[in-house]
């Protein structure tokens, strides 16, 4: 049975390091070898610093997939299409490779990120790097707890991973979407706490969900809590983390799922006005600066790349 990459369903960490690469022309053979060696590199440092709970994920860009593995493609792998409505925009930025390193030690992440870069070295250009951190008790920099309604326990695997029945060739893989959001915290902090709470439909300090009748149709959880025609919840596994410094702050949004559809529908529901003109009012205070789709294949598939 195929095994998934351990970082996909891992519990939240204290620190994260995200690396986004573009592959240079004619370097596919080198990259295949390097990618197949990354899981062993993660294992080595997870063992060496066992108290740090290190995990890693490597994923291949939707637009790059056919160059690295023209033989077959995950059935639902598709590009991140820009979405725009009025002044709200989710831009699309293509990257060929995504590497996520998470652990409870920033120094260990740094060591591993450096090893990843030197392993890929000659074949890639580092297009973007983001260092993230856990903020207070798992809060976004807006001050609200992020991740409360994430799937828990074994259910994380059901939501995030492709099953054998769904796509046998790519079982234990996951469709990954990322967006780096930049917050306007000066504007956000002009709101009263109750106004901020209305934006999420949750209370700030105690993280209590509003009752249904109190949730505004423009609240973030109203826009993202979607159901299919049979009333089943459309779920994703969010592994987002805050990032930033004194100049720039935001959320590195990361979603894993066994299908790209759930995330795509949620993002549309956030951005596009519905028949009543409602959209996600959180978007008045934050703006996505990047957006990309990847596939995080199983460990078995990564091993195949070396052959
Ligand atoms: C700046 C970007 C974002 C911030 C700060 C943010 C923050 C939050 C917060 C505070 C919650 C409530 C607590 C929780 O259940 O986690 C939440 C819920 C949620 N968010 Fe986001 N979010 C962002 C972007 C997104 C995006 C892009 C999506 C999907 C396209 C998304 C999907 C969800 C979902 C599915 C929930 C759970 C809804 C429910 O069932 O109650 N979020 N988010």
pLDDT tens per residue across span 33-83: 999 999 999 999 999 999 999 999 999 999 999 999 999 999 999 999 999
Domain of residue 185 covers 15-304
- Whether the Cβ atoms of residue 81 and residue 133 lie closer than 8 Å to each other: no
Work out the average pLDDT over 85-94: 96
For residue 116, is it within any domain?
yes
- Whether the Cβ atoms of residue 44 and residue 38 lie closer than 8 Å to each other: no
- Measured distance CA(6)–CA(101) in Å, rounded: 11
Which numbered atom of ligand 1 lies nearest the CA of 179? 27
For residue 63, is it within any domain?
yes
Cβ-proximal residues to 226 (8 Å cutoff; 6+ apart), any chain: 233, 234, 262, 265, 266, 269
For residue 2, is it within any domain?
no
CB distance 132 to ligand 1 below 6 Å: no
What pLDDT score was predicted for residue 146? 98
For residue 4, is it within any domain?
no
CB distance 144 to ligand 1 below 6 Å: yes
What pLDDT score was predicted for residue 1? 87
| Residue 307: pLDDT over 90 | no
For residue 37, is it within any domain?
yes
Q: Nearest CA to 258 among 8, 61, 62?
A: 8
Q: Could you tell me the pTM of the whole model?
A: 0.98
For residue 10, is it within any domain?
no
Cβ-proximal residues to 22 (8 Å cutoff; 6+ apart), any chain: 94, 95, 96, 97, 124, 125, 127
What is the number of domains present in the chain? 1
**28-48 and 106-120 helices, crossing angle to 10°:** 160
Catalytic residue among 96, 140, 146, 198: 146
For residue 6, is it within any domain?
no
For residue 284, is it within any domain?
yes
């Amino acid at each position: 049975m195929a095994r998934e990459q351990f970082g996909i369903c891992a519990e939240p960490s204290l620190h994260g390091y995200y690396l986004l690469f573009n592959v240079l022309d004619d370097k596919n053979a080198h990259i295949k070898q390097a990618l197949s060696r990354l899981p062993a590199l993660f294992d080595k440092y997870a063992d060496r610093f066992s108290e740090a709970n290190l995990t890693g994920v490597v994923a291949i860009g939707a637009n790059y997939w056919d160059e690295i593995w023209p033989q077959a493609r995950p059935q639902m792998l598709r590009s991140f299409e820009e979405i725009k409505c009025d002044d709200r925009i989710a831009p699309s930025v293509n990257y060929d490779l995504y590497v996520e390193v998470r652990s409870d030690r920033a120094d260990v992440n740094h060591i591993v990120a450096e090893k990843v870069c030197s392993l890929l070295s000659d074949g890639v250009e580092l297009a973007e790097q983001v260092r993230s951190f856990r903020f207070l008790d798992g809060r976004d920099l807006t001050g609200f707890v992020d991740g409360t309604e994430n799937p828990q326990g074994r259910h994380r695997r059901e939501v995030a991973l492709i099953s054998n029945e769904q796509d046998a060739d790519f079982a234990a893989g996951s469709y990954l979407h990322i967006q780096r959001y930049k917050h306007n915290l000066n504007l956000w902090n002009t709101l009263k706490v109750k106004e901020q709470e209305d934006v999420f439909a949750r209370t700030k300090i105690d993280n209590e969900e509003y009752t249904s009748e109190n949730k505004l149709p423009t609240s973030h959880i109203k826009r993202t809590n979607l159901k299919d025609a049979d009333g089943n919840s459309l779920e994703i596994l969010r592994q987002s983390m805050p990032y930033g410094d004194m100049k720039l702050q935001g959320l590195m949004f990361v979603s894993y799922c066994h299908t790209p559809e759930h995330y795509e529908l949620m993002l549309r529901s956030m951005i596009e006005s519905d028949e009543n003109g409602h959209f996600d009012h959180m978007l008045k205070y934050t703006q996505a600066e990047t957006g990309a789709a990847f596939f995080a294949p199983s460990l078995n598939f990564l091993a195949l790349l070396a052959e």
